[in-house]
Structure 1
Amino acid sequence: MKTPAPESAANALHPALEHIALVVFDLDGTLIDSVPDLAAAIDTTLTERSLEAPGIERVRDWVGNGSHKLVERALAHAQAISEEAVDRETVDAAHARFLEHYAAAPCARTRPYDGVRQCLSNLATRGVTCVLVTNKPIAFVGPILEHFELERFFALTLGGDSLNEKKPHPAPLLYSAQQMDIDPAHALMIGDSRHDIEAGKAAGFRTLAVSYGYNHGEPVSASEPDYIIDTLAELR
């Protein structure tokens, strides 16, 4: 099983990365700001049904539990009912349309956050294995990474439909550690939401939260990650 090489004082890592051989990254809200494109697809999906478009700011608070849940939340809000009260067939049909709209332009307004490429390049130089674990459907992940030329940094990529469970369940993180042959004690989960931090803790990973991103309108500090940073450029 792989373990990280010791660091010299002159080449010291950020404390979050000390003795870390595997870093698992979230995608939306951590590496990329994808809400503008997600919101555009949600708005179109709802207006097709003669429902009010929620707009970017509301969608920003709904992202994080996968696309199906995002559509369910949007429909519930538009109809002023609880998420549990939304008709399942209606959610499924609206979700299918949402996927069509999003697939048509997943990168039109999406942008990587500052410091992302620098961070990934630094980790690659140091020989740290990087994996991407997102709740976004896997069909969208490859094209987005390729568009921003980030795919080469990841040894493994998992979407919300890649396994039977998704974050906040620890299964995708434990699967990643197993596939990379790295002990969870030497792994770090980096994300922007409580779901990322919960998954990391449950998997026995160290956890780091970015202060930006999407966390349902709540401060990510409430999840008590091991570390919080304002930009991924701080990880060096």
Structure 2
Amino acid sequence: MQDKKLLIFDFDGTLIDSVPDLADAINTMLTTLGKPTYSLDTIKEWVGNGSRLLVERALVGQTQVPDGALTPSEADHAEQIFLEAYNSIETSKTVAYPDVDKGLHQLKQAGYTLALVTNKPIRFVPKILESFGWTPLFSSVLGGDSLPVKKPDPTPLLHTCQTLGFTPMQAVMIGDSVNDMLAGKSAGMDTLALSYGYNYGQDIRDSRPSAAFDNFADLLDYVLNQ
């Protein structure tokens, strides 16, 4: 990993477990609309493609949203309710995964440049970063609506490289879902996967990352000692 200088991290499911808050907001939305609510484990399998698709999946109750199942106005209205519910959460249940806080500081101290590319709407990202004291650690932060496209499109990763002055060959994409792996591969960079996050109930190793780990401590050891 000595030739790799830029580490691009996903957020939800990689650094933080945010599903409890997302599930609360989704179920608030569903209750408001008079629809049945779902368990945390079910909602967990819908996370990873940004707020719009999460909302649409919840409205139809399944991962694959059939064409024509929802009108744009229905989805717009529901998403607004969800975003307002998520924004109004006063006591957050979002936590950092084990060893992430210490690990990010170690990577920064080791001389790596850290960046964040998430599909979460950017309006929610700074507050969460600040709550963990991570704001100074990241040289670039992109949300799912910071650019016209989001992961699995490689554009956010390439934009991050260009902004920070690195080539894709000098960068690594680190995430928990197939979207992260597809984006990284399409951008021409190595991919490191974490198995504990949100990947629609599928084994992240099926996405054939450069390497996969079951915890952040093992990933940290790999990056620092390769």
Deviation track 1:160-195 (CA, whole Å, cap 9, x = no partner) reads 000111000000000011111111101000000000
Match of 1:178 in 2: 162
Q: What RMSD in Å do the two structures reach over aligned CA positions?
A: 1.5
**Structure 2: which 5+ runs fail to align?**
none
Matched, 1:53 2:16: no
Where does structure 1 differ by over 2 angstroms across 4 or more consecutive aligned residues? 80-84
Identity of aligned residues (%): 46
Match of 2:48 in 1: 64
Describe the shift of the 1:28–1:76 C-alpha distance in structure 2 as closer, same or farther (beyond 3 A).
Answer: same
- Which range moves more in the overlay, 226-235 or 44-53? 226-235
> Match of 2:149, as an amino acid?
E
Describe the shift of the 1:129–1:90 C-alpha distance in structure 2 as closer, same or farther (beyond 3 A).
Answer: same
The 5 Å alignment of 1:7-86 reads 17-77=1-61, 82=66, 84-86=68-70
Number of aligned residue pairs: 219
Match of 2:123 in 1: 139
Describe the shift of the 1:212–1:91 C-alpha distance in structure 2 as closer, same or farther (beyond 3 A).
Answer: same
The 5 Å alignment of 1:79-228 reads 82=66, 84-105=68-89, 108-228=92-212
Q: State which structure, 1 or 2, has the greater radius of gyration over its C-alpha atoms.
A: 1
Describe the shift of the 1:106–1:172 C-alpha distance in structure 2 as closer, same or farther (beyond 3 A).
Answer: farther
How far is 1:82 from its partner?
2.9
- Which range moves more in the overlay, 137-146 or 119-128? 119-128
Deviation track 1:192-216 (CA, whole Å, cap 9, x = no partner) reads 0000000000001110000100001
How far is 1:151 from its partner?
1.2
Match of 2:198, SS state, is coil
Match of 1:135, SS state, is coil
Describe the shift of the 1:206–1:150 C-alpha distance in structure 2 as closer, same or farther (beyond 3 A).
Answer: same
Q: In structure 2, what is the Cα distance between the partners aligned to 1:181 and 1:34?
A: 31
Contact kept in structure 1, 2:56 and 2:65, CA below 8 Å: no
**Structure 1: which 5+ runs fail to align?**
1-16
What TM-score do the two structures reach when normalised by structure 1? 0.89
Contact kept in structure 2, 1:106 and 1:144, CA below 8 Å: no
